[in-house]
């Protein structure tokens, strides 16, 4: 059996060959299709499960499995270690995704998926925003200017024109580099703590993507807001970790990516389930109807869903095979006698 191994350099090679903007557009298209056609009898997407711990630092390691019946299973393993950037110079989210053939159980592909995870999270927000956000050029606020902010804003720029970005980070030096890291044409204005407190008043769309500690939220302050404001809330992914003020959430129509996960780990932890309108697959399937929410305050509650990881891996592998990118790892060879476990010892 040959396993296609894709390192982060291989992933980059594929994306550069396709072009990053076109790659985003393909992801938007493929993920929209996957959500619209999502049938839990054909594609099983488990809510994630994993280990949460406080030693050596606060962190988690989770697995997010999906299976397309009669075809393959896809298991993303993702670590979230908020001390990684400052203490180790590593991304806080680190991930690999494995693809298995469900006819044989063999590992078909393994991809480093730290960038893929950031891309698919951005794309899910873009898809929700394209339905729920006001259909005009937007002033966008962002709280938390790390790696996720880049892909959130870039993906959003593929579905809406962005006039200006107002960016806040608890570490101003991180906010200061956002414009360079984004590398796009719209200006990024770094704002201070005083302006952060009224940010909801000044924007058409807000993105929250912080590593706020459990119980330390909200990161956005409730103020009067534009009637059409839309929020992509990305950071909540732990029981007790939320980013938005409850009073604001209570005024909004809330759309979780995955209802069970969002009730356990997302902004939905904070609210009356009655304010939950529809999950992402329903939103996409009935996009025309939900566009009526463009004039009202809405929140996309993103905890990150296994189906998104499956789609991004599928798109990547399609191009990687076409371009012949990645290395081939011969994990095992077909035995002469499948009943002989010692065959490799006799070669």
**Interacting span for a copy of itself (CB under 8 A) from 87-95, 133-141, 258-266, 287-295:** 87-95
Contact 162, 138 (CB under 8 A): yes
Q: Which of 12, 108, 264, 287 binds a copy of itself (CB under 8 A)?
A: 12
**Residues 157-216, interacting with a copy of itself (CB under 8 A):** 174, 177, 181, 183
What radius of gyration, in Å, describes the C-alpha atoms of the chain?
21
Is 247 a binding residue for a copy of itself by CB under 8 A? The answer is no
Distance between CA atoms of 329 and 209, rounded to whole angstroms? 36
**Residues 64-83, interacting with a copy of itself (CB under 8 A):** 65, 67, 69-70, 73, 75, 77-81
Is 312 a binding residue for a copy of itself by CB under 8 A? The answer is no
**Cβ at position 201, least distance to a copy of itself in Å:** 27
**Residues 129-148, interacting with a copy of itself (CB under 8 A):** 145-148
**Residues 13-52, interacting with a copy of itself (CB under 8 A):** 15-16, 20, 44, 49-51
**Cβ at position 9, least distance to a copy of itself in Å:** 6
Q: What is the DSSP secondary-structure string of 210-238?
A: --PPTT---SSPP----TT-EEEE----S
- Of 194 and 345, the one with the shorter C-beta distance to a copy of itself is 345
**Cβ at position 71, least distance to a copy of itself in Å:** 8
- Of 15 and 165, the one with the shorter C-beta distance to a copy of itself is 15
**Residues 105-124, interacting with a copy of itself (CB under 8 A):** 105-107, 110, 112, 114-115, 118-119
Strands, DSSP E only, in the chain?
3-6, 43-45, 49-53, 59-68, 72-80, 93-101, 107-112, 138-143, 162-168, 188-190, 205-208, 230-233, 253-256, 298-301, 327-329
């Amino acid at each position: 059996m040959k396993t296609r191994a894709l390192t982060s350099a291989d992933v980059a090679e594929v994306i550069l060959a396709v072009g990053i903007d076109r790659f985003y557009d393909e992801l938007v298209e493929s993920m929209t299709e996957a959500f619209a056609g999502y049938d839990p009898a054909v594609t099983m997407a488990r809510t994630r499960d994993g280990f949460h711990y406080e030693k050596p630092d606060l962190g988690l390691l989770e697995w997010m499995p999906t299976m397309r019946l009669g075809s393959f299973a896809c298991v993303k393993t993702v670590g979230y270690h908020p001390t990684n950037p400052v203490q180790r110079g590593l991304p806080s989210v680190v991930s690999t995704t494995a693809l298995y053939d469900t006819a044989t159980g063999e590992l078909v592909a393994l991809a480093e998926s730290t960038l893929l995870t950031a891309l698919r999270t951005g794309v899910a927000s873009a898809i929700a925003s394209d339905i729920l956000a006001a259909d005009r050029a937007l002033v966008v606020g962002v709280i938390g200017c790390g790696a996720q902010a880049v892909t959130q804003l870039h993906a959003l720029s593929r579905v809406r024109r962005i006039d200006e970005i107002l960016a806040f980070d608890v570490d101003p030096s991180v906010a200061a580099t956002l414009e360079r890291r984004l590398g796009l044409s719209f200006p990024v204005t770094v704002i201070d703590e005083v302006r952060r407190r009224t940010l909801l008043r000044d924007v058409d769309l807000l993105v929250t993507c912080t590593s706020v500690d459990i119980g330390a939220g909200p990161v956005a302050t409730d103020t009067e807001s534009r009637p059409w404001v839309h929020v992509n809330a990305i950071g909540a992914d732990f029981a007790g970790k939320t980013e938005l003020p409850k009073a604001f959430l209570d005024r909004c129509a809330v759309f979780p990516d995955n209802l069970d996960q969002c009730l356990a780990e997302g902004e939905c932890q904070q609210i009356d389930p009655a304010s939950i309108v529809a999950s992402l697959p329903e939103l996409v399937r009935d996009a025309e109807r939900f566009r009526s929410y463009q004039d009202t305050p809405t929140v996309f509650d993103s905890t990150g869903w296994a189906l998104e990881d499956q789609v991004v891996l599928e798109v990547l592998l399609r191009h990687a095979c076409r371009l012949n990118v990645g290395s081939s790892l011969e994990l095992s060879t077909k035995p002469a006698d499948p009943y002989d476990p010692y065959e490799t010892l006799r070669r």
